[in-house]
Amino acid sequence: MSKETTEEKVVKNESPERTEFKRIIESYKKSNPAKYELKKAALEKELAAIK
Amino acid sequence: MANTLSTKTLRDKYRSSQVQQALRNAIVAEKVCIVDRTELKTISSPYITAVTTTVQAVAGTYSPAAFTTTDDTLTVTDEFVAATHIFAFEDMTANFDLFYTANTAITNSLVTALDKYLVNELCDQGTGTYTTPAGGFTTSANVVTILSNIIAKCSGFADSINGFYVIVENTDLTGIITAQSNIAFSYADAAANNGFLTSLLGVDIYVVRSGTFATAATTAASGSKTWTNSGHRVGGVKKVATYATPRGLKFEEKGVTGKTGMEVVGYCLAGLKQWTPTATLTIDITLA
C-alpha cells in the first residue's frame, strides 16, 4: 500500500469529532494567529485526547 | 394538519395570560461592554504610540519621538436571524396573542445567540491570559486566588475604575458559593442570609449557562468566527470593549404564498471589538 493511500485511510477512519476539531484548529490558525500560538499546546493536547 | 398549539384551547383554564416559553438565559455582554446601536458598519478608534516623559537634571534640551497613530476598527460581520411562521389556524384558535408571543420568543432567541457570540468574541479577543489552579472555579479554595489574579493583572490602570468582572458558567458556582460562605464573616453571613452574592472581592460575577464558552468554527452559533473557548472563562475590566448592533433588532411580518397566516422574522447585525490599547485588560482565563 502506498504512503498516500495509508494516510487517506487514516483520515477516513477518523471520528467526526476529530475531523471537526482539526477543522476548528486550522480555522483558528488563520483567524487569530497570535492567540493560536498561545493556545497551540493546549489545543494539540485536546486533539490528542479525541479518538 | 393538527393544531400544534393545543387541541383543547377552548376547554382548558390557563394558568398564565401568555403561552409558556422555554427557560431564558441571562444576558451579560451588555453589562461588561460599551454598546453602540448607531447605524455604522464600521467604528474606528485610532490610537497613538505611548508618550514617554523623561525626567532629567535641568538642561533645557530634549529628543522628540515621532507621534504615530494606528487605526483600530470594529467591523460588523455577522447577522443573527430567527424566523418562524404562524399559521392562521394557530392564531384563530388560540386564547393568546401568538404574534406577541412570537415576537417575545424571537427576541429572546436572538439576544441569547447574540450574548453567546459576544461573550466568546470577548474571550477570544482579550490578550490578557491567566491559568487557574487545578480545578478552576469549582474548587472553592481557588476562587479567591483566581479573583485576586484578575484584580492584580488589571490594577494600577485608570480604566480599572470601570470595575472588575468575571463571566463564569453555572457549573462553576458550586465552588464560588462555597468560597463566599467560607471567606469571612460578612460575606458568609450575606451568602447564608441572601444566597448567591453577585460580587466578591470587588469583582462582579456574571453567570451564563453551561456550554456558552464554546469551541466552534463558522457554525450557526459562531457565524463567521472561530472560537476555541471551551474550558475558558473571561474576566477583567468593564467597558474596554465595544459591541455594535447597528439599529438594534428588526422585525418583519409578511404574508407568503401558499400559506395562511404570517411569517415572522427577527434579525440583527453584530460585531465586537476589544480595542488594542486595552486588550490586556480583558483576560482569557484557562481552567486547569
Per-residue cell: B88: 392562521
* CB distance B231 to B237 below 8 Å: no
Among chain B residues, the shortest Cα distance to A28 is held by: B226
Among chain B residues, the shortest Cα distance to A38 is held by: B129
- pLDDT computed for residue A11 by the predictor: 61
Q: Do B217 and A38 touch (CB under 8 A)?
A: no
* Interface predicted TM-score (ipTM) of this complex, two decimals: 0.74
Q: Do B124 and A35 touch (CB under 8 A)?
A: yes
How far away is chain B from the Cα of A50, in angstroms, using its nearest Cα? 14
- pLDDT computed for residue B128 by the predictor: 95
Give pLDDT < 50 ranges for chain B: none
Domain span at residue B225 reads 29-38+79-286
How far away is chain A from the Cα of B127, in angstroms, using its nearest Cα? 8
Distance from chain centroid for Cα B45: 21
- Residue range A8-41, pLDDT digits in tens: 555 667 899 999 999 999 999 999 999 999 899 9
Residue at B178 is within a domain = yes
Residue at B12 is within a domain = no
Q: Do B228 and A43 touch (CB under 8 A)?
A: yes
Nearest Cα neighbor of B227 from B155, B103, B92, B119 is: B119
E strand or H helix at B112, and its extent? helix B98-125
Nearest Cα neighbor of B37 from B74, B7, B69 is: B74
* CB distance B172 to B136 below 8 Å: yes
Coil/strand/helix, residue B75: strand
- pLDDT computed for residue A6 by the predictor: 47
**Partners of residue B286 in chain A, C-beta under 8 Å:** 42
Residues B215 and A20: their CA atoms lie apart, in Å, by 10
DSSP B189-229: HHHHHH-S-SEETTEEEEEE-TT-S-EEESSTTTTT-EEE-
User: What global pTM score does this model have?
Assistant: 0.86
Residue at B189 is within a domain = yes
Residue at B23 is within a domain = no
* CB distance B181 to B196 below 8 Å: no
Best residue of A32, A36, A43, A44 to probe chain B, by most B CBs closer than 10 Å: A32
Among chain A residues, the shortest Cα distance to B214 is held by: A24
Closest Cβ–Cβ partner in A27, A39, A42 for B217: A27
Strand partners, B234: B167, B284
Task: Tell how strand B241-244 and strand B34-36 pair up.
Answer: parallel
| Total number of domains in chain B | 1
**Partners of residue B222 in chain A, C-beta under 8 Å:** none
- pLDDT computed for residue A1 by the predictor: 45
**Partners of residue B228 in chain A, C-beta under 8 Å:** 24-25, 28, 39, 43
> Does B219 contact A at CB distance below 8 Å?
no
Residues A40 and B286: their CA atoms lie apart, in Å, by 13
DSSP B238: T
Task: Tell how strand B203-208 and strand B199-200 pair up.
Answer: antiparallel
- pLDDT computed for residue B96 by the predictor: 81
Closest Cβ–Cβ partner in B125, B129, B227 for A38: B129
Closest Cβ–Cβ partner in A24, A34, A42 for B217: A24
How far away is chain B from the Cα of A3, in angstroms, using its nearest Cα? 30
Contacts 24+ apart (CB under 8 A), B219-222: B221/B113, B221/B116, B221/B117, B222/B117, B222/B120
Q: Do A24 and B127 touch (CB under 8 A)?
A: no
